Structure 1
Amino acid sequence: MRKKNLVLFSARGRASLPDALACRLEAVAAVAYRTTPGLLSDADLVEQCAQAEVVGLTRRACKDFHAALVDRLPRLRGLAAYATGDEWLDRPALARRQVDVRLLPDYSAQSVAEHALAMLLGLSRRLHLSDRVVRGELPETISLRGWELAGKKLGIVGLGRIGRRIAQLAAAFGMDIHYCDPAVPAADGWRAMALGELLACCPVVMLAASVERGAAPLIGSEQLRAMPAGGYLINPSRPQLVDHDAVRAAIASGHLAGYAVDERVFCAAQLAGLEAGRILQTGHTAWYSNEAMARGAEAWVQHLIELAQT
Structure 2
Amino acid sequence: MSLNLGAKKIAFFSTQPYDKTFFNKYNEDFGFQLDFFETQLNPQTVALIEECEIVCVFVNDIINETVIKQLAEKKVKIIALRCAGFNNVDLEAAKKHHIKVCRVPAYSPQAVAEHAMAMILTLNRKTHKAYNRVREQNFSLNGLLGFDLFGKTIGIIGTGNIGKAFSKIALGFGCKVLAYDIVESDEMKKDGVSFVGLEEIFKASDIISLHCPLNDQTKHVINKTSLTFMKDSVMIINTSRGGLIETSSVIEGLKEGKIGYLGIDVYEQEEKLFFRDLSADIIQDDAIQRLMSFPNVLVTAHQAFFTNEALTQIALVTFNNIKSLLTQNDIENKAALLV
Verify same fold: TM over 0.5. yes
TM-score by length of 1: 0.88
Change (3 A) 1:214 1:198: closer
Using the TM superposition, give the Cα deviation of residue 282 of structure 1 relative to its aligned residue in structure 2, in angstroms. Answer: 0.8
Q: Is the 8 A contact 1:7 1:49 kept in 2?
A: no
**Any idea what SS the aligned residue of 1:80 has?**
strand
**Partner residue in 1 for 2:63:** 65
Q: State how 1:243-262 maps to structure 2 within 5 Å.
A: 243-262=246-265
* 6-15 vs 299-308, which moves further: 6-15
Change (3 A) 1:36 1:246: same
Q: Is the 8 A contact 1:87 1:213 kept in 2?
A: no
Cα deviation 1:200-225 (Å, max 9, x = unaligned): 01111111111016964111011112
Q: Does 1:284 align with 2:302?
A: yes
Using the TM superposition, give the Cα deviation of residue 38 of structure 1 relative to its aligned residue in structure 2, in angstroms. Answer: 3.9
Q: State how 1:159-238 maps to structure 2 within 5 Å.
A: 159-184=159-184, 186=186, 187-188=189-190, 189-212=192-215, 216-238=219-241
Alignment: residue pair count: 299
**Partner residue in 2 for 1:150:** 150
Change (3 A) 1:98 1:125: same
TM-score by length of 2: 0.81
Tell me, in whole angstroms, the C-alpha distance in 1 between the residues paired with 2:217 and 2:148: 37
Change (3 A) 1:78 1:287: same
Cα deviation 1:105-160 (Å, max 9, x = unaligned): 11031100000110111112111222222233999585101111110011000111
Q: State how 1:1-310 maps to structure 2 within 5 Å.
A: 3=4, 5-9=8-12, 10-12=15-17, 15-19=21-25, 21-26=26-31, 31=33, 33-44=34-45, 46-59=46-59, 63-74=61-72, 75-136=75-136, 140=140, 142-184=142-184, 186=186, 187-188=189-190, 189-212=192-215, 216-263=219-266, 266-272=287-293, 274=294, 276=295, 278-309=296-327, 310=329
Q: Is the 8 A contact 1:65 1:90 kept in 2?
A: yes
Tell me, in whole angstroms, the C-alpha distance in 2 between the residues paired with 1:143 and 1:301: 49
Q: Is the 8 A contact 2:22 2:312 kept in 1?
A: no
Tell me, in whole angstroms, the C-alpha distance in 2 between the residues paired with 1:215 and 1:221: 14
Tell me, in whole angstroms, the C-alpha distance in 1 between the residues paired with 2:297 and 2:149: 18
Change (3 A) 1:214 1:151: closer
Using the TM superposition, give the Cα deviation of residue 271 of structure 1 relative to its aligned residue in structure 2, in angstroms. Answer: 4.1
Change (3 A) 1:183 1:123: same
- Cα root mean square deviation, aligned: 2.5
Change (3 A) 1:64 1:215: farther
- Identity level (%): 22
Tell me, in whole angstroms, the C-alpha distance in 1 between the residues paired with 2:311 and 2:42: 26
